[in-house]
Amino acid sequence: MFYSKHLNKALDNLKSNPQTSLISVSTFAAAFCILGLFMVLYVNLDSLLSTWSRQVQIIVYLKDDLKNPQRKTLEALFAKNPQISSVEYVSRQAAWENFKNTFSAETEFLQSLDFNPLPASYNLRFKPGPNRVENIRLFAETLGKKSEVESLEYGEKWISRFEKFMIFLRVFLLAVGGLLSLGLIFIISNTIKLSALARKNEIELMLMIGATHRYIKTPFLLEGALQGAAGAVLALLAAKGVHGYMSFQFSDSIAKIARDADFLFIGPSGILILFGVSVAVGWLGSYISINKVLNMENGS
Amino acid sequence: MIQLYNVFKTYDGNIPALVDISLLIKEQSFVFVTGASGAGKSTLLKLLFGWERFDSGQILVKGMNVGKIKKEKLYLLRRHIGVVFQDYKLLPNKTVFENVAFAMEAIGASSRSMRYKTSDALKSVGLFKKRDSNPMQLSGGEQQRVAIARALVNNPAILLADEPTGNLDPDISLEILKLFEMANQQGMTVVFATHNHELVRHANYPFIILDKGNVVRP
Ligand SMILES: Nc1ncnc2c1ncn2[C@@H]1O[C@H](COP(=O)(O)OP(=O)(O)O)[C@@H](O)[C@H]1O
Ligand SMILES: [Mg+2]
């Protein structure tokens, strides 16, 4: 009841200066669309990262002519690590066959090689878990010191580089979001200030009659929040449109990069955050300006 | 009851608007405040409903220490006070009825009581028939009646009038004065500021004369 009255007032305000309202809503929409697209990028890179890190394995290349007991000590070491989900032994022979199968086009060159240059190896896969990449790195370090091991190959380096990049991207997103929000707070506060100044007489009267500050402010706060909400809805629709267009136009290349993972849109929590932030920004912007206008009034 | 003790008020960088004012206005009384333009009449009224702050002294209104009220709480003081101005201060985008109802809306009255109390207030100033008109289509006297209905509608204990007849012809002014007398007879304290000596002489009420911010004893 209390709020429906204020809501009507807020809608009246919006309607009574449509140009400024339209400008601030579309500025909101543009800014949050940009932010939304960054979030789409982030969401997809994040899902790529988790797909890839799920595939991280250690390949342990063995020294040539390793004897069975020496292999057993390594296998015992693997068995002791609870994080390892599977161990696959690839003999020199099997490796060579694999290699030849993969590069069958180059058979002429391969046939000219009359010895097997490939070492035997173990493929270690790890169980999923929060510290998977760190665990893999630690175990790889232990293995690297073993005399039986010729060399190791694992994705730790680029995975952790990728993870660092994701942290950077997150900070970047927050920074961009923060800057855009600041700009929007400024814009909204200007719009609401115009709206409040257009109703200066009314505000003055309300103060004289004995309206509470809360009563006077609420319609303007709602007006700002509504503008934020409208901007967010438009932004999400636009971002969804861009997302749809891109997944249609670039489906092939996306499939290649992402190895058949889907091109994701922002999830429900992301949408909620975007919406919440824009409503909060609209509210905050109008809060600042309506307080300023009220303080300008004498008698308030 | 309105009490002022040694009240001083100077606007920023100006000559003093009120100098050492002490006075007492009894409950349910009718008092004129007179004096030439610039004497400090408006300032005095503005201090009473907390629209302007004063420099020193003490003001008590309805038992409230006006100088001590925080600005977020001033509404509590103002809900005891109705104010009427020379320029009516009606909202041009609302009907007569809505202008009066506005005062009830602003203090969060229920819509049902709003409907009948607004009608009552309009009837008491003789404008119920014009409730759906736009105030800008009314004569000055009628506009002032609407403003008085708006001041009365919340049934305040105190009615402050700042030159309410300043823009009106003498006979219309007398009609407006009658409305304030009516309110006073119903128990409201009326403080009526005017520089119209005709009006002051016509009605036989106590008056306070201000001259350059000082109270002059008659
Ligand atoms: N807002 C203001 N700022 C500065 N000076 C003011 C203001 N309002 C009134 N004054 C000065 O205070 C004095 C009293 O003014 P006012 O109370 O309006 O007198 P009156 O209502 O009797 O004409 C005058 O000298 C006027 O110039
Ligand atoms: Mg005056």
Determine the longest span between alpha carbons in chain A, in angstroms: 102
Domain ranges within chain B, ordered by starting residue = 29-39+74-216
> Both tokens of residue B51?
């629209």
- Better pLDDT: A262 or B202: B202
Distance, in Å, from the CA atom of A44 to the CA atom of B186, rounded to the nearest integer, reads 75
Distance, in Å, from the CA atom of B96 to the CA atom of A226, rounded to the nearest integer, reads 30
Is residue B145 within 8 A of residue B123, CB to CB? The reply is no
Q: What is the mean pLDDT of residues B82-86?
A: 97
> Both tokens of residue B20?
């050492």
pLDDT tens digits, A230-263: 999 999 999 999 999 988 888 777 776 666 567 8
Q: What is the mean pLDDT of residues A95-105?
A: 76
Distance, in Å, from the CA atom of A210 to the CA atom of B83, rounded to the nearest integer, reads 11
- Residue B2 CB: number of other CB atoms within 10 A? 21
What is the SS3 assignment for B56?
strand
pLDDT tens digits, B23-60: 999 999 999 999 999 999 999 999 999 999 999 999 99
Q: Does the domain spanning B29-39+74-216 belong to CATH 3.40.50.300? A: yes
pLDDT level of residue A160 (50, 70, 90 thresholds): confident
Strand partners, B8: B56
- Asked whether B41 lines ligand 1 (CB < 6 A), one says yes
pLDDT at A214: 93
Which residues in A lie closer than 8 A to residue B83 (C-beta atoms)? Answer: 208
pLDDT at A203: 94
> Both tokens of residue A184?
């929007």
The whole-angstrom distance between B98's CA and the closest CA on chain A is: 12
Query: How far is the centre of ligand 2, averaged over its atoms, from the C-alpha of B194 (Å)?
Result: 8
Q: Do A206 and B89 touch (CB under 8 A)?
A: no
pLDDT level of residue A106 (50, 70, 90 thresholds): low
pLDDT level of residue B198 (50, 70, 90 thresholds): confident
- Which of B12, B75, B117, B154 would best serve as a mutation to test chain A binding (most A beta carbons within 10 A)? B75
pLDDT at A258: 62
What is the SS3 assignment for B194?
coil
Helices and strands (DSSP H and E) totals, chain A: 11, 4
For atom 3 of ligand 1, the residue with the nearest CA is: B11
Ligand closest to Cα of B85 equals 2
Look at phi and psi of residue B108 and say left if phi exceeds 0, alpha if psi is from -120 to 50, else beta. Answer: left
Give, as one character, the DSSP assignment of residue B137.
G
- Better pLDDT: A63 or A113: A63
* pLDDT of A111 above 70: no
Give, as one character, the DSSP assignment of residue A15.
H
Q: Do A209 and B106 touch (CB under 8 A)?
A: yes
Instruction: Please report the residues numbered 166 through 185 in chain B whose beta carbons come closer than 8 angstroms to any beta carbon of chain A.
Output: none
Q: Determine which helix (DSSP H) or strand (DSSP E) holds A10, and give its type and residue range.
A: helix A2-16
* β B214-216/B207-211 pair status: antiparallel
pLDDT level of residue A3 (50, 70, 90 thresholds): confident
- Residue A202 CB: number of other CB atoms within 10 A? 18
**Domains of chain A, start order:** 2-52+160-299 (no CATH), 57-154 (3.30.70.3040)
> Both tokens of residue A129?
């878990």
pLDDT at B80: 97
Query: How far is the centre of ligand 2, averaged over its atoms, from the C-alpha of B161 (Å)?
Result: 10
> Both tokens of residue A266?
């922002």
Query: How far is the centre of ligand 2, averaged over its atoms, from the C-alpha of B143 (Å)?
Result: 19
The whole-angstrom distance between A209's CA and the closest CA on chain B is: 6
Alpha helix (H) residue ranges in chain B: 41-48, 74-78, 96-106, 111-124, 140-152, 170-185, 197-202
Tell me the residue type at A257: I
- The sign of the CA dihedral B203, B206, B209, B213 is negative
pLDDT at A268: 92
Q: What is the mean pLDDT of residues B71-93?
A: 96
> Both tokens of residue A208?
């004289």
pTM score, whole prediction: 0.79
Distance, in Å, from the CA atom of B80 to the CA atom of B48, rounded to the nearest integer, reads 11
* pLDDT of A136 above 70: yes
pLDDT tens digits, A271-292: 999 999 999 999 999 999 999 9
Q: Helix, strand, coil proportions of chain B in percent (round to 5)?
A: 40, 25, 35
For atom 25 of ligand 1, the residue with the nearest CA is: B38
Query: How far is the centre of ligand 1, averaged over its atoms, from the C-alpha of B66 (Å)?
Result: 20
- Asked whether B38 lines ligand 1 (CB < 6 A), one says yes
b (16+ CB within 10 A) / e for A244-254:
eeeeeeeeeeb
Q: Do A213 and B72 touch (CB under 8 A)?
A: yes
* pLDDT of A156 above 70: no
Which residues in A lie closer than 8 A to residue B79 (C-beta atoms)? Answer: 209-210
Instruction: Please report the residues numbered 194 through 233 in chain A whose beta carbons come closer than 8 angstroms to any beta carbon of chain B.
Output: 201-202, 204-213, 215
Q: Do A215 and B106 touch (CB under 8 A)?
A: yes
